[in-house]
Amino acid sequence: MQRECIVQTGSPLFEAIFYAHTLGPYIPEVHAAYISNSLHDVLPSSIIEEYKTIFDSVFELLSAKKTRSLSNLIHGEDSWKRAMMQGEGTSMDIQDIKEDAARFRVRRFLLTNLEQFHKPVYA
């Protein structure tokens, strides 16, 4: 969600520190709430409406992926790689996450406009 929000708006969805783990990034507070089965807060409808395109994009892109595919995706991102080079549990720099988002934005633009790039210039 965080990267997609940066892709679409240029800003993070929320303020939090992500930490690198071998399986991917995590937020300790969210992980603790999940483990204690206390993730029951419902987002206000105004937040859901404001960020609907972001939620929809993430669900469309990732909901059908298996755990291994999701892990492979994050292992390809520089923000995770840089943090893991310093060791598991290292905080991920938000600037690195923003750089990943910028690369993703360019890749999405190119894929969306791929047909235009295949047309002969002289036609």
Long-range pairs for 16-19 at CB < 8 Å and ≥24 separation?
A: 17/91, 17/92, 18/91, 18/92, 18/97, 19/83, 19/89, 19/90, 19/91, 19/92
Q: Give me the pLDDT at residue 94, please.
A: 95
pTM of the model: 0.81
Query: Which tokens is 29 given?
Result: 């507070």
Per residue of the chain (123 residues), give pLDDT as tens.
Answer: 999 999 999 999 999 999 999 989 999 999 999 999 988 888 899 999 999 999 999 999 999 999 889 989 999 999 999 999 999 999 999 999 999 999 999 998 888 887 776 666 665
Rounded Cα distance between 48 and 46, Å, is 5
